[in-house]
A and B are shown apart, each in its own frame.
Chain A
Amino acid sequence: QVQLQESGPGLLKPSETLSLTCTVSGDSLNDFYWNWIRQPAGKGPQWIGRIHTSGRSSYSPSLKSRVMMSIDTSKNQFSLQLTSVTAADTAVYYCARNLGFGVSHWGQGMSVTVAS
């Protein structure tokens, strides 16, 4: 059974860069799409973007100018970078894998707070 685990700093200051890594166990990264999704407290999820093991990626238009994703199949990891964070980026961040065009496997989520 595939498992995903997010890691990274939980507290950032405004204008800093958020860097999160998702480590996948129980299966290889090959031939799947891997997503980042966030959910502010009390609100619905927001899709941030996805990356394929081929390196193809796509991002939410509202975040595209600040987002970069990468993937390292040798480490079974993929990563998210979000630049120039503000309080509005405070959320639980999930990494997740697709099942067809649905998102079937989710990490447990990582709380990220942006505060001065």
Chain B
Amino acid sequence: QSALTQPASVSGSPGQSITITCTGSSRDIGGYNYVSWYQQHPGKGPRLIIYEVSLRPSGVSDRFSGSKSDNTASLTISGLQTEDEAQYYCLSYATGSLYVFGPGTTVSVL
């Protein structure tokens, strides 16, 4: 049972912006600025797209952005493209030097 919650699915049309939320508690998301986001296409491993709430690793498109408010972190994908269809997972650092993943959100491009 994940301690974080994400919507099961989010969809949008090409060119639109969508936002995926990840809600936790003061013991994880609310207590630290250490939320990261991962994109996973079928049959592939997860790929880091945002770390420490809003930082993008080298090579990740600036169409991906992250933010956080209280116990909820958000990933926004702007200018939605067909290649953005994938599963998206949040990961938060938590009290006790632990990490916890969210259950994942399926992004569909209509």
Return A39 CB to nearest CB of chain B, in Å: 8
B91 & A102 in contact (Cβ 8 Å cutoff): yes
Return A55 CB to nearest CB of chain B, in Å: 14
A103: chain B residues within 8 A (beta carbon):
36, 38, 46, 48, 91
Tell me the count of chain A residues lying within 8 A, CB to CB, of chain B. 20
B89: chain A residues within 8 A (beta carbon):
44-45
Instruction: Please name 20 further chain A to chain B contacts, defined as beta carbons within 8 Å, in addition to the given A58-B98, A99-B48, A99-B51, sorted by A numbering.
Output: A35-B99, A44-B87, A44-B89, A44-B102, A45-B89, A45-B101, A47-B91, A47-B99, A47-B101, A94-B46, A100-B34, A100-B51, A101-B32, A102-B50, A102-B52, A102-B55, A103-B46, A103-B48, A103-B91, A106-B46
Using CB atoms and an 8 Å cutoff, list the residues of chain B in contact with chain A: 2, 32, 34, 36, 38, 45-48, 50-52, 55, 57, 87, 89, 91, 93, 96-104
